[in-house]
Structure 1
Amino acid sequence: MKEIVIGKNEIDKRLDGFLKAYLPNASMGFIYKMLRKKNITLNGKKASGTEKLSFDDKICIFFADETLDKFRGISSEVINDLKDTNNNSNNEKKSIGIASQSYITSYKKIGSLNIIYENQDVLFVDKPAGLLSQKSTYKDNSLNDWLIGYLLEKGDITPAELDTYKPSICNRLDRNTSGLVICAKSLYGARVMNKMLKDRSLHKYYRTIVTGRITDSSSLKGFLYKDEKKNKVFVKKTDPQDDRYSYIETEYTPVKYYEDSDMTLLEVKLITGKPHQIRAHLQSIGHPIIGDVKYGGKPIKGLNYQLLHSYKLVLPDNLDKELGDISGKEFICQLPDTFEKLIGKG
């Protein structure tokens, strides 16, 4: 039997919607059947599924562990691998649970990261180049896992709370793009941040170094298509009348030109946010990013990735009082050493 206690992040959700999210591999028909048979109960009573959840409500699921894992989408391979990875006789670790311990393990493997700002709902962190934003396989370490492990270690969340809500990143950076990432600690934080990202009231700025001299600010518009098999995008300046292509817009301003090496430091503002957008858009105008060989960038000895850094975040000034501490604020994530070594401190 699994008991779930409803916390602040689940208040006002419908029971059936909550159960579908919790048991993604179960059909709605199966969920309703389990409710009718009282194999799933709400506060010890039969429920229809239409009930709105309140704080401290208790949902009991009377499934065998293997059945629960199956409907939650947790394979036996993952469970056995986590058991082997986290095998320890320490009672405290056992009480934490296998999945929670895996987050803590990822957090410790990745180590301390530079937290730009944190409150009860959001966290802005500096992601180093080379770290995945989200894992590709369950064996990967990612920033998302680091976030959950960090909050578990800090005591901001409990293993039980992870059953119903998992803190997560709101904007993804390419593996080798560094810099500021927005993380949501609470459901409220996730809703507000994702809304601002969608309506573009939150402004994201990047810094990068490109080949050649750029003297004027400009706005680039075009259409982008991603070839998933090649993991590469293609940009056209005019609408190709092809549903695979999405509209993109990128603004940039030159910061400094380095005559000796014929390179320009740019500040780039993302208007839309598509995969590889900045990299491909700059290549399309003949100014590829240094180190970005996939998109025509100049190779640099000792550098095997693109020099692209999520540099600045500017928030609107009309946020609710819960996020009043960041309303209208600007957050900057300083350039990493790889930039400084190439262009110096000046």
Structure 2
Amino acid sequence: MKSFVAGKNEAGQRFDKYLGKLLREAPKSFLYKMLRKKNITLNGKKATGSEKLKEGDEIKLFLSDETFQKFCGQSDNSSLHEETDMNDSAYRKKKAREFARRIIYEDEDLLFWNKPQGILSQPDSSDAVSVVWMLQNYLLESGRYKVEDLTTFHPGPVNRLDRNTGGIVLCGISLKGLQFLSGTVHDRTLKKIYVCMISGELAEGCYKAWLRKDEKSNFVSISPDELPGSRQIITSFKLRAECGKYKLAEADLITGRPHQIRAHLAYLGCSILGDPKYGDPVLNKKIQDQYGIRYQMLHAESITFPELSEDFSYLSGRTFKADLPESFHILMQDPPAP
């Protein structure tokens, strides 16, 4: 028999949704069968699965260890959060320290982090480290959470940056925090500023166009007029500094579409240095050979919250910034001759 107690991050969830996270490999038919047979109970009573959990509710699973391990996706020797090449305790502690050094802001519900270039926001089929893994590892190593807490609640980022784009990621580390951040991102009330190093001539202003994405190639194309399957994009650009033959530009995302800044700049006759998809391959090789720059020079620099009420009113109007990566400082301090 396994026994669990619902915490604050499970409160308000439907019971069947909770069970689906706890036993993520189990078919729904199995869960409902176990509920009908009282092999799964809520506060010692038969349940249907439609109940809303409250903090302190006791969940009991009268299942064999083998069945539990099978359906929660865990073997006898595995932990609930570790990949096989991330088992080493010293490695996890090192990664937690690295993560802590890049924290921009943290409270009991929220954590804002300066993501380095080259790190995935969400895990994929590879074994590469992601923001999700690093965040959860930090929360475990710092004692904020226990392994069992992460079976039914998954702290993580709500805004996804491309692997090769660095900058601020907004993470919810409680259910309340995740719901709040997801809402503000969804309703587009956050002001998001990106900076990029570009080549080419760019006039300041607010530009509109239409973007269409090819899902198979993960490539977007820009057109001046609406086409079938296209969505409007609006981006405001400002120039911050001349860096020799290159320019440091600021992009204010009015809309938020895939690859919007990169593709919009390319459409306007500019390119972001180091951009392998929409940039200039000859120029990319040149700056890699000359400066050792391997990633696209696009950085999510800041977010500003709108006026807020109730629980998160303390964030009203506040701006949080992520320091620029070293590659930007290299070109700003040692710009090539025009």
Tell me the TM-score range normalised by the shorter chain: 0.7 to 0.9
Choose the corresponding residue for 2:272, options 240, 264, 289: 289
Aligned-partner Cα distance in 2 for 1:279–1:77? 45
Structure 1 pair 34–105 and aligned structure 2 pair: CA distance change class (3 A): farther
Choose the corresponding residue for 2:167, options 167, 171, 179: 179
1:144-174 CA-to-partner distances (Å, cap 9, x unmatched) read: 1111111112222222211221211111111
**Contact 1:225 1:246 survives alignment (8 Å):** no
Higher mean C-alpha displacement, 113-122 vs 56-65: 56-65
Q: SS of the residue aligned with 1:296? A: coil
Higher mean C-alpha displacement, 173-182 vs 295-304: 295-304
Structure 1 segment 113-132 matched on structure 2, within 5 A: 113-132=101-120
* Structure 2 spans left out of the alignment, 5+ residues: none
Choose the corresponding residue for 1:308, options 274, 298, 303: 298
Aligned-partner Cα distance in 2 for 1:247–1:18? 38
Q: CA RMSD in A?
A: 2.9
Aligned-partner Cα distance in 2 for 1:63–1:34? 9
> Which AA in structure 1 matches 2:228?
Q
Structure 1 segment 254-265 matched on structure 2, within 5 A: 254-258=239-243, 260-261=244-245, 263-265=246-248
Structure 1 pair 223–308 and aligned structure 2 pair: CA distance change class (3 A): same
**Contact 1:40 1:62 survives alignment (8 Å):** yes
The reply to whether residue 328 of structure 1 matches residue 286 of structure 2 is no
Offset at residue 63 of structure 1 (A): 2.9
Offset at residue 67 of structure 1 (A): 3.1
1:45-76 CA-to-partner distances (Å, cap 9, x unmatched) read: 22122222111111122333443344345589
Aligned-partner Cα distance in 2 for 1:294–1:71? 41
The reply to whether residue 340 of structure 1 matches residue 325 of structure 2 is no
**Contact 1:113 1:125 survives alignment (8 Å):** no
**Contact 2:80 2:151 survives alignment (8 Å):** no
Structure 1 pair 53–211 and aligned structure 2 pair: CA distance change class (3 A): same
Offset at residue 138 of structure 1 (A): 5.9
Aligned-partner Cα distance in 2 for 1:249–1:70? 48
Offset at residue 338 of structure 1 (A): 0.5
1:7-40 CA-to-partner distances (Å, cap 9, x unmatched) read: 1111122212322343344333322111011121
Structure 1 segment 213-232 matched on structure 2, within 5 A: 213-228=201-216, 230-232=217-219
The reply to whether residue 38 of structure 1 matches residue 71 of structure 2 is no
In structure 2, the residue matched to 1:64 is 64
1:165-212 CA-to-partner distances (Å, cap 9, x unmatched) read: 121111111111111110111111111111111111111110001111
In structure 2, the residue matched to 1:203 is 191
1:201-239 CA-to-partner distances (Å, cap 9, x unmatched) read: 1111100011112232222331230333x3333233322
* Structure 1 spans left out of the alignment, 5+ residues: 94-100
**Contact 1:133 1:142 survives alignment (8 Å):** yes
Higher mean C-alpha displacement, 107-116 vs 248-257: 107-116
Identical-pair percentage: 38
Choose the corresponding residue for 1:154, options 119, 139, 142: 142
Higher mean C-alpha displacement, 67-76 vs 181-190: 67-76
In structure 2, the residue matched to 1:277 is 260
1:78-124 CA-to-partner distances (Å, cap 9, x unmatched) read: 87996965778xxxx8xxxxxxx99x468349554411111111111
Structure 1 pair 279–246 and aligned structure 2 pair: CA distance change class (3 A): same
Q: SS of the residue aligned with 2:238? A: strand
The reply to whether residue 248 of structure 1 matches residue 242 of structure 2 is no
Aligned-partner Cα distance in 1 for 2:131–2:202? 34
Aligned-partner Cα distance in 1 for 2:111–2:103? 7
> Which AA in structure 2 matches 1:292?
D
Offset at residue 77 of structure 1 (A): 11
Q: SS of the residue aligned with 1:272? A: coil
TM-score for both structures, normalised by structure 2: 0.86
The reply to whether residue 28 of structure 1 matches residue 28 of structure 2 is yes
Q: SS of the residue aligned with 1:8? A: coil
Aligned-partner Cα distance in 2 for 1:121–1:161? 15
Q: SS of the residue aligned with 1:9? A: coil
Tell me how many residue pairs correspond in the alignment.
Answer: 328
Aligned-partner Cα distance in 2 for 1:217–1:41? 61
Structure 1 pair 339–80 and aligned structure 2 pair: CA distance change class (3 A): closer
Q: SS of the residue aligned with 1:295? A: coil
Structure 1 pair 84–142 and aligned structure 2 pair: CA distance change class (3 A): closer
**Contact 1:250 1:272 survives alignment (8 Å):** yes
Structure 1 pair 158–87 and aligned structure 2 pair: CA distance change class (3 A): closer
**Contact 1:107 1:147 survives alignment (8 Å):** no
**Contact 2:301 2:321 survives alignment (8 Å):** yes
